Amino acid sequence: MGIYLRLVLGRSEVVEMFISDGYKYTELGIIPSDWKITPLKEFAKVVTGKTPPTKDSNYWNGKIPWFTPSDIGGKRDLFTSERKLSEKGYESNSAKLPPESVLVTCIASIGKNAITGVWSSCNQQINAILPNDNFNSNYLYYWISNNTPYYETNAAKTAVTIINKATFESLPVVLPPLPEQRKIAEILTTVDDHISETEALIEKTKVLKQGLMQQLLTKGIGHTEFKDTEIGRIPVEWEVTILGKICEPKQWPTISSGQLLSSGYPVYGANGVIGYFDKYTHKTETILVTCRGATCGTINLCVPYSYVTGNAMALDSIIDTSDLKFVYYFLTNLDFSSVISGSAQPQITGSSIRKVAIPIPPLSEQRQIATILTSVDDQIDTYQAKLASLTRLKTGLMQQLLTGKIRVKV
């Protein structure tokens, strides 16, 4: 059971919606009947910080975090800041923030938020919501995160977008019963913790990969004797050649943005896929070097059946005694600055890239090195896919839990 609600928003705009039993229509949407819409100031205290005199060292360089908008973004819990206050600086600030204070940016970038993990302070660009027994800080953090556009809409549009303290604390917030707030926060915090763990694994594996590349691409596997060459010390069994002797660098015809399609064969520009086309230039996986613009020297690997534009140099026809993946990994670790010409419009020419020196281990060793690095890349891809899945899960849960579309058991 339930009711149909018909709203006339203008002369011609009519919105019809169905409200199930146990729910109600409010200014913030349809929510459960036992949830409240309450102005922030009626259940919490809001304070705004300030900046102590910046030229007086007596206020600075202590151990007390002093948060600014640049410290907020990407992490829920804040334990440290770029700048820190001394005891004198802290005592001079109106914002003395206990752990579990919710920080919300209120100038320029509206609605970025975080939770303090320690006693701290903040500047005047942040509204801080002090914790108390009337609400759960984690719940409020997630609710604000899910309603950033709502705060942006209520900000004053001046030279710099701002939402002052009086406006901020007068805006209503959706409040479930406290036990339900805690349960919602617990679920979302668990997902966030998994996201953080996965991000840490990605960074750890990237560091591992970088270390392996430094080792494998200069010292190889199992070598004990080395020699000095124009590209540095390498195993005595390795040779040095130039790219022009192992492949054919080529710029293919560029197509205009107007020719791109919404489907078809992927089109690679300077920095990866830019659209699709009904023809392809390459049947097989090919190394691409960005040869125009600010990202000159960036290395990509196009998938089979792709169109490569002239903004990327395709390393075609790699000889049989060179492994494509080995060459790819070596080039991703190479500094191309010496072959980039032009300042207003940087570029890499075919003649200059042909002269780039590259080591040539025995083919079997090239393949071994490529296999090791590919396996690490595969692990990174697996973690990144998991991260994307968790991020989608979090977004969906926030939409469902913070509106009461899905009720939690407490």
Q: Is residue 321 part of a domain?
A: yes
Residues 169 and 275 placed together within one structural domain of the fold? no
The predicted model scores a pTM of 0.86
What is the reported pLDDT for 410? 85
Strands 36-39 and 60-67: unpaired
Best CA proximity match to 176, nearest among 403, 400, 397: 403
Can you give the length of the chain in residues?
410
Residues 135 and 262 placed together within one structural domain of the fold? no
Q: Is residue 305 part of a domain?
A: yes
Residues 274 and 154 placed together within one structural domain of the fold? no
Q: Is the pLDDT of residue 332 over 70?
A: yes
C-alpha 91: how far from its chain's center? 36
Return the CATH number at 166.
Answer: 3.90.220.20
For the chain, how many structural domains are there in total? 2
* DSSP state, residue 68: -
Rounded Cα gap, residues 348 and 291, in angstroms: 5
Across the range 288-316, mean pLDDT stands at: 96
Residues 257 and 150 placed together within one structural domain of the fold? no
Q: Is residue 183 part of a domain?
A: no
Q: 362, 237 in Cβ contact below 8 A?
A: yes
pLDDT tens digits for range 354-401 = 999 999 999 999 999 999 999 999 999 999 999 999 999 999 999 999
Q: Is residue 116 part of a domain?
A: yes
**Phi and psi for 346 in degrees, rounded to 5?**
-60, 145
Q: Is residue 212 part of a domain?
A: no
Please give the residue range of the domain that contains residue 71.
34-175
> At 141, is the secondary structure helix, strand, or coil?
helix
Confidence tier at 8 by pLDDT (50, 70, 90): low
Mark which of 126, 149, 175 sits at the end of a domain: 175
